[in-house]
């Protein structure tokens, strides 16, 4: 409760407004920063970036500004359920089967549609980028 009250008091000191929306946004911003700062005090340095990333994702989710399918793919990778219907790896010399599985599954997401066929059509350019 102390942290919440501190956020209310500090935000009121720095921003004066008559708009309720502006006041709520200011309170949210100050409280988010206070939670971040106080949580980081108890984290090891190597964990702070992961915490900041997690906080950022949660804020974007609350605003509906993050694609949940893409985020889930980022966390878990692609899950191949029917390997027989999958196109064979076009670049087995330098691209592992696991990587090809992920590319093939990533291709199913709208924002990345066409990536697998791009690997099939332009393997030399992808090899330069990949290696």
- Whether the pTM exceeds 0.75: the reply is no
In contact, 20 and 28? CB cutoff 8 Å: no
* Per-residue confidence (pLDDT) for residue 79, from 0 to 100: 86
The pLDDT of residue 5 is above 80: no
Structure tokens at 105: 């599954």
Which CA distances in Å does 40 have to 5, 21, 46, 51, 67? 19, 28, 11, 8, 27
pLDDT at 115 over 80: yes
pLDDT for residue 103 is more than 90: yes
Mapped onto helix, strand or coil, the DSSP state of residue 94 is: coil
d(CA 71, CA 75): 6
- Average the pLDDT over 75-93 and give the result: 91
With cut-offs at 50, 70 and 90, classify the pLDDT of residue 16. Answer: low
- For residue 122, pLDDT over 90 is answered with yes
Kindly tell me if the per-residue pLDDT of 112 is higher than 90: yes
pLDDT tens digits for 33-76?
Answer: 889 999 999 999 999 999 999 999 999 999 999 999 999 999 99
């Amino acid at each position: 409760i102390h942290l919440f009250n501190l956020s209310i008091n500090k935000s009121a000191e720095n921003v004066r407004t008559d708009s309720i929306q502006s006041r709520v946004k200011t309170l949210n911003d100050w409280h988010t920063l206070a939670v971040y700062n106080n949580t980081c005090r108890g984290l090891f340095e190597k964990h702070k970036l992961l915490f900041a990333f997690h906080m950022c994702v949660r804020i974007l989710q609350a605003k509906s500004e993050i694609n949940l399918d893409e985020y889930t793919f980022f966390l878990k990778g692609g899950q191949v359920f029917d390997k027989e219907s999958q196109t064979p790896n076009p670049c087995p010399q330098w691209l592992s089967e696991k990587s090809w599985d992920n590319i093939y599954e990533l291709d199913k997401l709208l924002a990345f549609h066409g990536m697998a066929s791009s690997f099939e059509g332009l393997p030399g350019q992808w090899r330069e980028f990949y290696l």
